[in-house]
Amino acid sequence: MKGNPRISERFFVPSETFEPAYMTLYRRGELHRRVERALQELVNCHVCPRNCGVNRLENEKAVCRSGRYAVVASYFPHFGEEDCLRGWRGSGTIFFSWCNLRCVFCQNFDISQEGDGREARPEELAAMMLQLQEMGCHNINFVTPEHVVPQVLEALLIAVEGGLHLPIVYNTSAYDSLQSLRLLDGVVDIYMPDFKFWTAERSRRYLLAKDYPEVARQAIKEMHRQVGDLKFDEFGLAKRGLLVRHLVMPGFLDETRQILKFLAEEISPDTYVNIMDQYHPAGKVSAEKYPEINRRITSDEYLEALQIAHEVGLWRLDERVPRRPWLVWYQ
């Protein structure tokens, strides 16, 4: 922590004493029991809020188009994540294919809605985690895992038995079931939900899930209950806590205001938030189908979003620093 003005005592955990949350569950035998309970959820699937009820253990598929095993699009050290995740050796991302949402503007449309990728059995998924650890990644970052929580837990157990010791990042749309999140209690170190929309009308139009706002609110509350506000080690790496992303959409600053107000008032004014400006028309967005979002946001819109955050009482906003040797900047 010495010399790093971005970290206060309240949000600090020393690297030499940090241990991933799942190690405690593993030593108690609870991680084994969680895997058993999670796999039973696949029999009459209620893994996510869609509650499709199909038997995924028999490879039946519904909204998420995933059966017994997860489909993985890619895995690699990611240097495009927040500074506190990518550090100087990258965040060990594992991108799952398919999704339980149908965001019309998805920037990973080929993965989330066309299913690019290959099926990965638990041993293969565990091997990916261990390989990312061997490559020096600072964490294991599960991207779009909402529909494959049982498969993640099953593979994690194998990886822990193989020597995994990195913190787990759960990188989600926030369209998560409370039942799945409770299975992850004491497993996940860093929850990173993206709170997309506040209103049911826009969620129905752009995500094809009108219940998204209420689900996201309850999910984020549960995530914060489990891990609290985001904490860093002496090198500025995130170790445990909640990091919320919000993608600013063109013309929808009223949504932004409600979301940020909720975070400040109902989660914590110390919530660490990444207000993102990278929206661009993608997926199904066109001038004919969705003209109102067929543009990038303006610089004024983004600056207003930042101003809103300050107005509602949020102060821990993610900022990128110039690329330079990480330890030089943090010492």
- Give 190's strand partners: 169, 241
Report pLDDT for 329. 31
Q: Is 246 exposed, middle or buried (0-12, 13-18, 19+ CB in 10 A)?
A: buried
Structure tokens at 70: 């997860």
Task: Find where tokens 């029999």 sit.
Answer: 43
Q: For 25-73, what is each residue's pLDDT tens digit?
A: 999 999 999 999 999 999 999 999 999 999 999 999 999 999 999 999 9
Q: Which CATH number is 9-330's, of 3.40.50.1380, 3.60.150.10, 3.40.50.300, 3.20.20.70?
A: 3.20.20.70
Q: For 49-59, what is each residue's pLDDT tens digit?
A: 999 999 999 99
Report pLDDT for 7. 57
Report pLDDT for 330. 30
Return the HEC string of 155-191.
HHHHHHHCCCCCCEEEEECCCCCHHHHHHCCCCCCEE
Q: Give me the amino acid identity at 128.
A: M
Q: How confident is the model at residue 8 (pLDDT cuts 50, 70, 90)?
A: confident
Report pLDDT for 6. 53
- State yes or no: pLDDT of 327 exceeds 70: no
- Average pLDDT (184-196) is 98
Helix axes 122-134, 149-161, angle to 10 degrees: 60
Q: Report the relative pairing of strands 190-193 and 168-172 from DSSP bridges.
A: parallel
Task: Characterise 121 by phi-psi region: left (phi > 0), alpha (psi -120 to 50), beta (else).
Answer: beta
- State yes or no: pLDDT of 235 exceeds 60: yes
Q: How confident is the model at residue 322 (pLDDT cuts 50, 70, 90)?
A: low
- Average pLDDT (232-254) is 98
Percent with pLDDT over 90 in the chain: 94
Each domain of the chain, given as residue ranges in start order, spans 9-330
**Better-scored residue on pLDDT, 189 or 327:** 189
Report pLDDT for 320. 81
Distance (Å, rounded) from C-alpha 251 to C-alpha 292?
8
**Better-scored residue on pLDDT, 327 or 144:** 144
Predicted model pTM: 0.95
Structure tokens at 3: 């010399």
- State yes or no: pLDDT of 325 exceeds 50: no
Distance (Å, rounded) from C-alpha 311 to C-alpha 303?
12
- State yes or no: pLDDT of 105 exceeds 90: yes
Q: Within 13 Å, how many C-alpha atoms sit on residue 52's CB side?
A: 18
Distance (Å, rounded) from C-alpha 200 to C-alpha 119?
33
- State yes or no: pLDDT of 256 exceeds 70: yes
